[in-house]
A and B are shown apart, each in its own frame.
Chain A
Amino acid sequence: MTGPGPMPVRAQEPELGPESGPELGKKPGPVLVARALSRHYDVRSGLFGAPKVVRALSDASFTLDAGKTLAVVGESGCGKSTLARLITMIEPPTSGSFAIGGIEATPATLRTLRTSVQIVFQDPYGSLNPRQRVGAMLEEPLKINRPALDAAARTARARDMLRLVGLREEHFERYAHMFSGGQRQRIAVARALMLEPKVLVLDEPVSALDLSIQSQILNLLVDLQERLGLAYLFISHDLSVVRHMADDVVVMYLGRPVEIGPRDAVFAAPRHPYTKALLSATPVADPTAAKTRIKLEGELPSPLSIPPGCPFAPRCWKAQARCREARPELEGDTHRAACFFPEG
């Protein structure tokens, strides 16, 4: 994911570019709807080994409204980044479907939909092309997807975008290595916004940045959302950032959503034991805070051998025989958790 090439641009190869901007469905409702999205990978262990299946993502369903932020949290290997790759149409789902702005994502609609979802990657040192000037980086998506625009209009748009993300005119002619980490992340955001997407996927956008820079980028994202009405799919492992940014939260464990709900409900009264453990394990920047840390035993099981029953059962302090036999489904209306013995 962190190759030198600019991934969002690569996702729109020249031959795929539509003649004009996408005419997306105008009907109100969620801008992004995902239904039981799954992605499985076949891996072989050795030359003669039997093929195995890595279930990187299973049955992820959620909706995202315009101008809202849906945060996806979980530890490494929980399927957060796989979800980002599916939503940005870098990879097709194994099963399940999703729609953007009311248009189903099928091979026929890929061309139009791809421009309405863009992604910002974690590492701004890896995601920008070191051999391109900032101007060229910003104009490239337009060149490919808006061939009707002439060069002057493209440049004007790119310069406007630089101002919008808080960079200066003179930065237009510079290369990526001349910028600090925070400025690079601004460039990455600017590039993602060039095609006026409806949904912006933010894959750990601030975790490679220092604390003093992190707040600048978070403010920028808040500003842009208010001004442009963007929907954010905000992927992060940092719960304090999620608590600040999100409207709704999906907690994932081993490729499955285990809890979905409004931010305040999830943080104030987590229903799934894993969410509760995750919250209690997050260090709080207050030395006087009472520490009631739930210590989870052991580590994530391998995604190659996900245990039958509830995937969290081997580490759960409440697990009973039933948890090891059957897998709980998400239950509840607005605040749903996949647990037989939910908290509270």
Chain B
Amino acid sequence: MALLEIRNLSVDFATASGAFRAVDGADVAVDASDVLAIVGESGSGKSVSMLALMGLLPWTATVTADRMMFDGQDLRAISPRQRRRIVGKDMAMIFQEPMSSLNPCFTVGFQIKEILRIHLGLNRHDRHARAIELFEMVGIPAPEQRLGAFPHQMSGGMCQRVMIAMAISCAPKLLIADEPTTALDVTIQAQILDLLTELQKDTGMALILITHDMGVVAETAERVSVHYAGQKVEEQGVLDLFKAPHHPYTAALLAALPERATARRLPTIPGVVPGQFDRPDGCLFSPRCAFADDLCRAVPPGQAPATLGLALCHYPLGALA
């Protein structure tokens, strides 16, 4: 049985100008010790779907799903109190901006020990020992002294290490990393990605990596799910996705990478992601798609079989060959 299974997840935000659908029928399934990358541009709903899973969305959001199971528990049915026992313990999240996700008023030691006290009920001495152990695991030098530091006294890379230490402090079964390295420099990014993959291997936790960087995906993930305008448009193993993308959006996205360029001018995707008021009737990608015809513009496509990467497309690439 899958560790996490979400079917047909939709998130609507009530805005002053009407309802806005940020996530539109997305499916996510993760097994224990799986590494899944969710790729998409801004506005593709990749972060919102994970926040919905964690129950961290504001009251303006309406979350609906046919199925939302985590580790045998139905997340739609449990009370907020029960959910808080899971979130942060079995299911933890790392955010993009390490500096702004830590509380500037408390030392990092206080913040990590708070988790250990509330979720694990450790006593003062054990909390201190465990916090030092965790800081050592994530490679923070001189952990004992660093426990007394405030977030502003540390660099971005160090803050992200503290965030990771906090996230893995209760040995979660699932770790969600939302753009964990976007705010960091390349050499620090390499350190953090190595740390995350090592921790994943050592502890056997499942890892969901949300990112927009195809390079990070290629180096870290085992499976990739591509999101566009709130929908999952394709899901494949990482090798197959880069070799033979089936959805035209994935193909266009890979072709637009500067490092894959063959000429001075890059292939582009015309237009922009549809917003609240210009969502097309048929396939959401049809206005920008090079292969779209009248059928695409009128009828929303169904999901292709798994051999075609579950592509949400009338004419998945590679189907004719």
Contacts and interface: CB of A to CB of B under 8 A. Distances in A.
B269 interface: yes
Residue among A210, A219, A288 with the highest chain B CB neighbour number at 10 A: A210
B29 to A, nearest CB: 21
Interface residues of B, number: 44
Contact of A287 (B190, B213, B218): B218
B218 A286 contact: yes
Contacts of A27: none
A222 B265 contact: yes
A299 B268 contact: no
Contact of A293 (B190, B256, B272): B190
B289 to A, nearest CB: 12
A284 B190 contact: no
A285 B218 contact: yes
Interface string B244-270: 000000001110111111001111111
B155 interface: yes
Nearest to B218: A287
A288 B190 contact: no
Contacts of A285: 214-215, 217-218, 242, 254, 257, 259-260
Given A283-B216, A285-B254, A295-B194, A212 B269 contact: yes
B185 to A, nearest CB: 4
Interface string A187-222: 000000000000000000000001111111011001
B145 interface: no
A278 interface: yes
Given A218-B266, A285-B242, A241 B190 contact: no
B186 interface: yes
B266 to A, nearest CB: 4
Contacts, number: 113
Nearest to A179: B272
B155 to A, nearest CB: 6
Interface in A156-185: 180, 182
A275 B157 CA distance: 20
A301 to B, nearest CB: 11
A39 interface: no
B268 A219 contact: yes
B258 A241 contact: yes
A212 B190 contact: no
B185 A218 contact: no
Contacts of B272: 180, 182, 213
Contacts of A299: 155, 157-158, 188
Given A182-B272, A215-B268, A281 B254 contact: no
Contacts of B103: none
B142 to A, nearest CB: 12
B239 interface: yes
A189 to B, nearest CB: 16
A108 interface: no
B71 interface: no
Contact of B242 (A216, A241, A286): A286
B281 interface: no
A243 B268 contact: no
A222 B264 CA distance: 8
A75 B254 contact: no
Contacts of A213: 272
Contacts of B185: 75-76, 237, 300
Given A75-B186, A237-B185, A210 B41 contact: yes
A295 B41 contact: no
A296 B257 contact: no
A164 to B, nearest CB: 16
A240 B258 CA distance: 6
Contacts of B273: 210
A272 to B, nearest CB: 14
A296 B187 CA distance: 7
B239 A288 contact: yes
Interface string B269-293: 1101100000000000000100000
Interface in A284-322: 284-289, 291, 293, 295-296, 299-300
Interface of B: 41-42, 155, 157-158, 185-191, 193-194, 212-219, 238-239, 242, 252-254, 256-261, 264-270, 272-273, 288
25 contacts: A75-B187, A180-B272, A210-B42, A211-B212, A211-B214, A212-B252, A212-B256, A214-B256, A216-B268, A218-B266, A219-B266, A240-B215, A240-B257, A240-B258, A281-B186, A282-B186, A283-B215, A283-B216, A285-B215, A286-B218, A286-B242, A287-B218, A293-B190, A296-B191, A299-B188
Given A211-B257, A283-B189, A284-B219, 15 more contacts: A75-B188, A210-B41, A210-B273, A212-B252, A212-B288, A215-B258, A216-B269, A237-B185, A244-B261, A283-B216, A285-B214, A285-B218, A285-B242, A285-B259, A285-B260
Task: Sort A-B residue pairs by CB-CB distance and give the 4 closest, nearest first.
Answer: A283-B215, A244-B258, A75-B185, A281-B190
